[in-house]
Structure 1
């Protein structure tokens, strides 16, 4: 048996009061744990709903990415066709500039001659 020397001996009513207080403390603790568990349960339900929504959002995002992947080759083909068109337009512009260049030089030469003739004739 344990040595109880130096400790006061409790009487029956003291023991009952001590046990009753311990029971009340345990009851309060159980109520606190129940409250925490209820809040945790609500939080887990909200989290479950959020996870479900996230799953749906990710599925839509995945569908969108798949569609973009399907569109990419067609978009590349459109860009290549546009580049071909731009190349042809540049050739046409270069050809137009080549055709107009002698005409512009001739125009400047004729205007220069006409200006000299006017000045010489005193018309300007």
Structure 2
């Protein structure tokens, strides 16, 4: 786990925060292995954020932004079909959910339980 995620995890635990969002899937897997029991359903991955953004603003708008960014995350560019030229909203949703479920197989205890993120985090 990188120093940044280690620090974020320490803050999450110390402040009893409700959510930590990271795009680093290796870090999420490492957190699953070392996190104390109170860290249940408190970690979210980047793909969960983008499922939420698609729900709120629509996949076509988000797709334009992701595909227009030359250094966008590979999982996102794959899900949005940036290299293939086109991808419908359903295909984008399926791609993002596939990445989430693949991660969930390894990190069921700590990963936020739903595909979308809560709009309000206490």
TM-score by length of 2: 0.17
Say which structure is richer in strand.
2
Normalization by structure 1: what TM-score? 0.17
Query: Which of these two proteins has the greater Rg computed from alpha carbons?
Result: 1
Pick the structure with more helix per residue.
1
Tell me which of the two structures has the higher relative contact order, counting C-alpha pairs closer than 8 angstroms and 6 or more residues apart.
Answer: 2
